Structure 1
Amino acid sequence: MITEHRAVRHVRHVRPAGANKCAVVVGDELPVGLAANAAGVLSVTLGHRVGGLVGADVEDADGVAHPGIIHVPLPILKAPREAVAAIVRAAAEDDDLFFVAFSALAQSCRTYEEYTAKLAATATADLDSIGVALHGPRKRVDRLVGSLPLLR
């Protein structure tokens, strides 16, 4: 059902900034706290894996340095769980898209060690996607998520 094989490679920002797009989609049935958690985990992973998303550190008028933040829009969208799974499947088939899938299994774990042990014992087809982050050509990302509403 879900292919996460590309989630282990680093992606370089190779297109002009306006040509790429990012988006996060979370399941619309998730309570607000779990939706925020899923979006946060996916966003951190996306920022770590996709080079060029985070801008340089900036000093304010007093000379205090502030860490760089993402310099492109990152909409947080919602969709029914079945649609999230369909987006993950479609992203897995598109070599131009980088994606990170977030499963109910991952969200149920309290530690990374627990997550890795449970994931190692779970077949890909048994993973239940509750969120996904995407990065890639604007048209390809829009094709998958362009009609989805914002999480509110």
Structure 2
Amino acid sequence: MRTDNEEAPIRFDTKIAVLLRDDLEPWQRLNVTAFLVSGLGTAVPEVVGEPYRDVDGAEYLPMFRQPVLVFQGSKETMAAAHGRARARALASAVFTSDLFRTGNDRDNRAAVRAVGTDSLDLVGLAVHGPRNVVDKVLKGAQMHP
């Protein structure tokens, strides 16, 4: 039997959002999203829920405890969002166009390290923070279709 608390809608004070540049190929959008959200779970462990278990007792890895909203925007929207996220010190992950030419974490980190903050050719950004702050960071972006 469920109690009233178990039936009440769950509301989150925070938001997880991914912003993708609108000129990416479909495979790139999926790849970038997967890479970006992997960073949030390690840096912000409270966004990860409990492990899953089916009726037979098989266990599955835990996932985020809240939805991940995916947005898209132009190169300019991406740069503005990145600047706003940095100014507000939001937990964030970046994916640059250079990372499509690398094949491992070491080379990915080197590619980002080789470019100044304002010169990063961002194709993806993931952020986590208070709902209203994330909304301000993503100003001008549209929900991904």
User: CA–CA distance in 1 between the matches of 2:104 and 2:61?
Assistant: 27
Does residue 101 of the first structure (1) align with residue 94 of the second (2)? Answer: yes
Relative to structure 1, the CA distance from residue 121 to residue 67 in structure 2 (aligned partners, 3 Å threshold; closer, same or farther) is: closer
How many Å apart are 1:39 and its aligned residue?
0.7
| CA displacement, residues 61-116 of structure 1 (integer Å, 9 cap, x when unaligned) | 11111221111010111111110111001111113x21112111223212233333
Specify the SS of the correspondent of 2:143.
Answer: coil
From 36, 47, 65, the counterpart of 1:71: 65
Specify the SS of the correspondent of 2:67.
Answer: coil
Q: Over the residues paired in the alignment, what is the CA RMSD in angstroms?
A: 1.8
Contact 1:100 1:133 survives alignment (8 Å) = yes
User: CA–CA distance in 2 between the matches of 1:118 and 1:101?
Assistant: 12
The answer for the alignment partner of 1:126 in structure 2 is: 119
- TM value normalised by structure 1: 0.79
- TM value normalised by structure 2: 0.83
The answer for the alignment partner of 2:48 in structure 1 is: 54
Contact 1:103 1:128 survives alignment (8 Å) = yes
User: CA–CA distance in 1 between the matches of 2:103 and 2:35?
Assistant: 13
The answer for the alignment partner of 1:145 in structure 2 is: 138
Identity in percent: 26
State which structure, 1 or 2, has the greater radius of gyration over its C-alpha atoms: 2
Relative to structure 1, the CA distance from residue 47 to residue 62 in structure 2 (aligned partners, 3 Å threshold; closer, same or farther) is: same
Does residue 135 of the first structure (1) align with residue 128 of the second (2)? Answer: yes
Letter in structure 1 aligned against 2:43 = R
